[in-house]
């Protein structure tokens, strides 16, 4: 699973952030996660090997972007345009962007975004019903070609039926929390969400 982290660091904004794995990892090495900084991998998709070939190849699979931050984080506004340029240039790769800040989406896309780019999937998180009811309508209304939902950590039972029945969601992923302070994830919640996906004909991953 190729991962591209053009910047590192984030700020907690909702209950799902409480035991964030990025904060946990950084704390173990004495790093302050609240400090957002551009990384040496900023242009990773454009880097080539000695043979002049791209290090990231289409057959490597989906490229997961900003797994140690949030692509739509305000702190990264000055760097994002360059990332869109890279994503545009590497149209042979498919970029998967997971965000808790879907409310910033329309103000953060490039001018030529149109109805969305075919090589980009935007995935909105929703750890509980409150976050689902706030974020998913925005995800559905935004000009996006590929949409997914992820509930990780899943903090309660979710009723996503009305969102799934729109036919605009391509995949649902859910899972529990990691770490020694992990909050419970009731398997009944997981099974109910899977039932909703089956009824809507949407792939489900736990």
Number of structural domains (the chain) is 1
* pLDDT tier for residue 45 given thresholds of 50, 70 and 90: very high
- Give the pair of three-digit tokens for residue 25: 């990892």
* DSSP three-state, residue 80: helix
Q: What is the percent of the chain where pLDDT is above 70?
A: 100
Predicted confidence (pLDDT) at residue 35 exceeds the cutoff of 90: yes
Distance of CA 8 to the CA centre of its chain: 14
Domain, as residue range, for 150: 3-205
Closest CA to 69 of 42, 92, 47: 42
* pLDDT tier for residue 1 given thresholds of 50, 70 and 90: confident
In the prediction, which pLDDT does 88 show?
A: 98
- What's the rounded Cα separation, in Å, for the pair 155 and 166? 24
């Amino acid at each position: 699973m190729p991962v591209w982290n053009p910047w590192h660091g984030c700020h907690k904004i909702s209950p799902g952030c409480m035991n964030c794995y990025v904060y946990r990892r950084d704390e173990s090495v004495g790093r302050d996660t609240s400090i957002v900084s551009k990384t040496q991998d900023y242009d990773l998709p454009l880097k080539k090997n000695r043979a002049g070939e791209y290090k990231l190849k289409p057959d490597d699979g989906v490229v997961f972007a900003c797994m140690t931050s949030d692509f739509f984080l305000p702190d990264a506004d000055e760097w994002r345009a360059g990332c869109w340029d890279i994503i545009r240039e590497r149209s042979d790769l498919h970029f998967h962007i997971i965000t808790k800040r879907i409310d910033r989406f329309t103000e953060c896309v490039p001018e030529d975004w149109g109805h969305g780019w075919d090589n980009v999937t935007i995935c909105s998180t929703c750890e509980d019903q409150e976050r689902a009811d706030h974020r998913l309508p925005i995800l559905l209304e935004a000009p996006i070609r590929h949409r997914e939902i992820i509930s990780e950590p899943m903090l309660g039972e979710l009723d996503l039926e009305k969102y799934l029945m729109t036919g605009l969601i391509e995949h649902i992923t859910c899972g529990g929390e990691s770490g020694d302070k992990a909050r419970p994830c009731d398997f009944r919640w997981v099974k109910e969400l899977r039932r909703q996906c089956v009824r809507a004909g949407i792939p489900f991953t736990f």
